[in-house]
Amino acid sequence: MCPTRSPQQQGANQIASETSTKRRALFIPGYAAGAAAYFNIFKGLLEIYDEIVTIDVLGFGCSGRPDFYAFDTKECNDFFILQLQMWMKKTGYDSADKGKFTIIGHSLGCYIGTHYAIAEPDKIDEMIHLSPAAIGEKPQDYRPYEYVEKQTNFGKRILMNIAYLFWDFNLSPMIPFKMFGYWPGRYLQKGWLQRIKNPSEHDKEVLSQFMMQAGLRKTSTDKCVTVIFSFGHGWARLPLA
C-alpha cells in the first residue's frame, strides 16, 4: 500500500497546512485508480481539512502487485482491511495521540474505507462517500444483463457481453488493457479525463502516462471487482446496507 503524490505535487506524500490543531482526512481511491488521478480535488479538500493523506490501495497505482487468490467476498474484504491496518500500524497514522480522522473514499475506496470504519469505529471521526459502490443491496427485480442491453455504443456492447459471460470466472476486467495496451488504455484514459474540470495539457499528459503505466503492471487485486461486485451497476455481492 503506497502513499502517492499527485502530478502537481513536488515530492510530499502528505499535504498539510501549518496549524496547531489538525483536522485529518485519509483519502482512499477507487478501483484501478491511483491517488494521483484525484490530484485536482486536494486543494478544495484543504479548505476543509488541515491535513490530507492519500494512499494507493495495494494492487493499484504505485503500490505493489501481490499475487491475489481471494475467491470469496469475505476473504477479499479481510485482505483489504488487513493491508490497511498494517499500513496504519507501520506509519502510526491511527495512533491515539493523533486523534480521530475522517476517511474519504471514492467508489471501491468507499467500500474498503467503510469496512475499516466498522472494524475500527473508535478511530474514525466520519466517513465520506464519493460515488460509492458495493454499499447497498441490489433491487429484487435487478437483471444483470440489463446493463448490457442499455449500451448504445456497438463496441462497448460487445465488450460488456464478453464481461458478462466471464464475470464469475474470477478474471480481471483489466485483461484487455493489459493484453492490448494502447487502444483499451486510451479508452479508459478518455473516460477518466472527462471527469476532471479544465485539465491543462500538462495534467492530461502526466495523468495519461501514470494510468497507462500503472494499468499495464501485472494482474493482482484488480481481480477483486468480480468477487466484490455483482455484474452491472456496482451492486455488492455482500452488501453493507
Please report, for the domain that includes residue 203, its CATH number. 3.40.50.1820
Residue 240: inside a domain: no
**What is the number of structural domains in the chain?**
1
- Domain for residue 237, yes or no? no
Q: Return all residues near 84 (Cβ < 8 A) that are at least 6 apart.
A: 1, 112, 116
- Ranked by mean pLDDT, which of 29-33, 65-69, 71-75, 82-86 comes out on top? 82-86
User: Does the pLDDT value for residue 3 go beyond 60?
Assistant: no
Between 145 and 187, the higher pLDDT residue: 145
- Specify the higher pLDDT residue, 146 or 175: 146
pLDDT at 232: 75
Mean pLDDT, residues 107-120: 92
Average pLDDT, the chain: 80
Q: Are 228 and 76 in contact (CB under 8 A)?
A: yes
pLDDT of residue 188: 62
Whether the per-residue pLDDT at 88 is higher than 80: the answer is yes
**Inside any domain, residue 179:** yes
Tens of pLDDT along 10-50?
333 444 444 336 899 999 998 877 888 888 888 889 999 99
Asked whether 106 and 29 are in contact (CB, 8 A), the reply is yes
In a domain, 187, yes or no: yes
Predicted pLDDT at 40: 82
Angle at 14 between CA 11 and CA 19, to 5 degrees: 125
Q: What local confidence, expressed as pLDDT, does residue 13 receive?
A: 41
pLDDT value of position 105: 94
Classify residue 35: in a domain, yes or no.
yes
235 lies in a domain? no
CA distance linking residue 9 with residue 15, whole number of Å: 9
Q: Tens digit of pLDDT for each residue in 189-210?
A: 666 666 667 777 877 777 777 7
Predicted local confidence at residue 187, as pLDDT: 60
Q: In this structure, is residue 29 part of a structural domain?
A: yes
pLDDT at 112: 93
Residue 239 falls inside a structural domain: no
Q: Which residues contact 203 (CB under 8 A, 6 or more apart)?
A: 7, 8, 39, 40, 196
pLDDT at 16: 41
Predicted confidence at residue 92, as pLDDT, reads: 94
Domain carrying residue 183: 2-228
